[in-house]
A and B are shown apart, each in its own frame.
Chain A
Amino acid sequence: MGSLQRLGRWTLGVLERLGRGHLFLLRTLLAMGTLVRRPGLLLREIYSVGVLSLLIVAVSGLFVGMVLGYQGYITLVDFGAAEALGTVVALSLVRELGPVVTALLFAGRAGSALTAEIGLMKTTEQLSSMEMMAVDPYKRVIAPRFLAGVISMPLLAAIFSAVGVAGGYFIGVGVLGVDSGAYWSQMQASVDFHEDIMNGVIKSMVFGVVAAWIAVFEGYDATPTSEGVSRATTRTVVHTALAILALDFILTGLMFGDI
């Protein structure tokens, strides 16, 4: 009986949290209107969420692209198809690695910071004092951070993919001696703008919404103690990673599954 009760309590707890998360998202979306009148709030958050993530995303993209250049070449050269290296590098970056790795890096670099910041605001009762002064924390704190994440993610993913393609070019053409014209022409022949690049952009938009949502919600929902904030930060990274990988599987099935 006791274990059944624990199971029930756990299930109800999960459902309650899910419900709170969705109500939170709804209130955030409703609070979005103020950002039209005060774009300065949004700019500051895009700076801390997007611009400060730029370096890690660009450097990771470069290395991932260079690794793809090596691994793709080693596999393809056995089949005499080293010219298809451009296709391999571009398709894997644009379709999968760009959106997914960027979202994972985003969760670690920006998502955890968002959670810790909002959680500490709650712990030190800054959010309650805002409410005392009739300032809506959803409008002042949550909505700008959420929207900044949503806007930054597709841009970061595009930068990741572009830098990665350049990294693959550097290794494939510069180091391993694949023909430069073949690298680009094979890539252009098999990468479709609507099918591949736009689907990648849609993926990164979805990931942006999910990653930003989880980060701000975990911060807002954190237990207001130092331990609670640290737990919320961990949960942000873990939950975002799981949600993004599972969503990526579903989106890939929907977008590319019907071949």
Chain B
Amino acid sequence: MTTRRIEITVGIFVALGLAALFMLAVQVSNLGEYRGGDGYEVHAYFNNIGGLKVRAPVTMAGVRVGRVTAITYDAERYQARVSFTISARYDQLPTDTQASIYTAGLLGEQYIALEPGGEDEVLRDGDVILFTQSALVLEELIGRVLVNLTGN
């Protein structure tokens, strides 16, 4: 083995390792989404967020436009405060956009679905979405059905 051959094979090895890491970053993980700036942050208050988690998707017409970044409890309003980042490409959301928490599939993860309103003004960084719809909690729903059944 000459030094030259060793150097070349080591170079190939290191390049392969870095290429594998790059492939993991771009093809396997969510790093690809972060391209082109962060976007802007919007807040919304919900009575009940069900099982919503940080990093859950935010969708518009079923297309992912952002991610939930923080969930905190607001002690003054007795509500959950959900912050999410929307990609800067989607900066045309009206101020009366509605945010609802839905479940993907019967037992799937929960996500926020945005439905556009009719205002001309658009949402900016730090704005609060006024119209929200809480998550459906299965037990609550069953309870309501049972009350209705026994009531009649």
Contacts and interface: CB of A to CB of B under 8 A. Distances in A.
- Per DSSP, chain A at the interface is helix
Contacts of B30: 188-189, 191-193
A50 B29 contact: no
Interface string B1-36: 101001101101110111111011101111111000
B13 A192 contact: no
B55 interface: yes
B13 A155 contact: yes
Contact of A161 (B19, B20, B33): B20
Given A43-B10, A50-B10, A159 B29 contact: no
B66 interface: no
B10 A154 contact: no
A190 B136 CA distance: 23
B16 A155 contact: yes
Interface residues of B, number: 27
B58 to A, nearest CB: 12
A5 B109 CA distance: 61
A148 to B, nearest CB: 10
A68 interface: no
A196 interface: yes
A44 B13 CA distance: 13
Interface of A: 40, 43-44, 46-47, 50-51, 54, 90, 94, 152, 154-156, 158-159, 161-163, 165, 184, 187-189, 191-193, 196-197, 201
Given A40-B3, A46-B14, 14 more contacts: A43-B10, A47-B6, A90-B28, A94-B28, A155-B13, A155-B18, A155-B20, A159-B17, A161-B20, A161-B28, A162-B28, A188-B33, A191-B28, A191-B30
